[in-house]
Amino acid sequence: MNALPQMINEYKEKKDSLSDKEKAEFEERLWNAYLRSDMCERGAEKRKWLKDILNGHQADYEMRSSLWRAGEWVDPFWNLLQNGESMWTVTRLFRETKKLVFEGNMPREPAIKYVINSYESTGYQVESHGKKYRRRTSAERVKLNPELAPNSIPFRGLSNQNTKSKQFTLRLIALAKEYVSSSIEGVLPIDDPEALKVTEDFIAIVQEAGEDLRRRVYDVKSQSKQSSKPRKIGREQVRQACEVLGLSMTSGQNINLKAAKKAMLRRASQLHPDRNNNSNQTQLEYQAVVEAYKTLELFMEGMKSNESGASHEVR
């Protein structure tokens, strides 16, 4: 496997734990590796290629790429994404900032500060089916639902699942605070230093348990991906499988699975335990024939899934 497929697999495994800025950097490296590879097609479009190999939405790849190419001055937009703002919102704010910079001749940093402050104070207008609506700001949404307020839990990724986990953790912390309050009610004043310390310790335990669960989930996911990878079939295994099925091998030619299946069915029919009084010897030979065909089948599947284009012909 060459470098590009390895990078693609690495991205897919790490995607859920990466921030949007880290995804943008990784996607840029993927694209550059693709342009240098033999797989590169003339006229390929970056966002379409990323979508084809990584799934997701083309607009997300395009927006991350735009922010990445803009440089460090757009870090406040990365922070907005990190804090849970939607890609659609950040895209709109980024475009407004560029308009101020390039058409209004406003310096970059004041422009981005002005746009973000305006959004956080008044929100912005959106139009749908001929009607105009005012989109709530982050502060307004938090005021309506305090459980959405930012917290100190380090969630790096902002995939849908991570966003759900983050919001649920916030609700869990709110419940934990309510639990502590009800537990010490009548024993200590809620603002007593000892009561505050008890509350902080309990919240820390809840947060650590949430982080531990997240780490374990990622470990299980990683192990599952590793175990689901097809096992590699060596040249000697293929030769032995062909011998069991009575197939001839020609150097430089692929395995004919249709011929292999016919040979397997013919031999399996002759060796089936029901036709041989359940003889132990024929049972072993029957299993060997079935396994031989599976070996050849796995070998050919490996050839088809080989993204490097390298030959897997048996020699």
CA distance 80 to 120: 11
pLDDT value, residue 313? 44
Backbone angles phi, psi at 133, to 5 degrees: -130, 155
Domains defined along the chain, listed by start: 1-70 (no CATH), 89-144 (no CATH), 151-228 (no CATH), 235-305 (1.10.287.110)
Q: Is 161 exposed, middle or buried (0-12, 13-18, 19+ CB in 10 A)?
A: exposed
Residue 130, Ramachandran bin (φ over 0: left; ψ between -120 and 50: alpha; else beta): left
pLDDT value, residue 165? 67
pLDDT value, residue 26? 92
CA distance 168 to 156: 16
pLDDT value, residue 120? 74
Helix (H) or strand (E) holding 60: helix 58-70
Quick count: other Cβ atoms within 10 Å of Cβ 307?
A: 15
As given in the structure block, the two tokens for residue 249 are 């091998």
pLDDT value, residue 125? 61
Backbone angles phi, psi at 208, to 5 degrees: -65, -40
pLDDT value, residue 174? 73
CA atoms within 13 A on the CB side of 299: 25
pLDDT value, residue 25? 92
Residue pLDDT, tens place only, 139-172: 555 555 555 454 433 444 444 566 666 667 677 7
pLDDT value, residue 242? 87
- pLDDT lower than 50: segments of the chain: 1, 148, 150-159, 307-315
Q: At what angle do helices 280-305 and 257-271 cross, to 10 degrees?
A: 170
Backbone angles phi, psi at 41, to 5 degrees: -105, 145
Q: Which amino acid is at 141?
A: R
Write the CB contacts of 53 (distance below 8 Å, at least 6 apart in sequence). 8
pLDDT value, residue 216? 77
Write the CB contacts of 38 (distance below 8 Å, at least 6 apart in sequence). 309
CA distance 168 to 130: 35
Structural contact between residues 123 and 140, judged by C-beta atoms closer than 8 angstroms: yes
pLDDT value, residue 3? 81
CA distance 92 to 87: 9
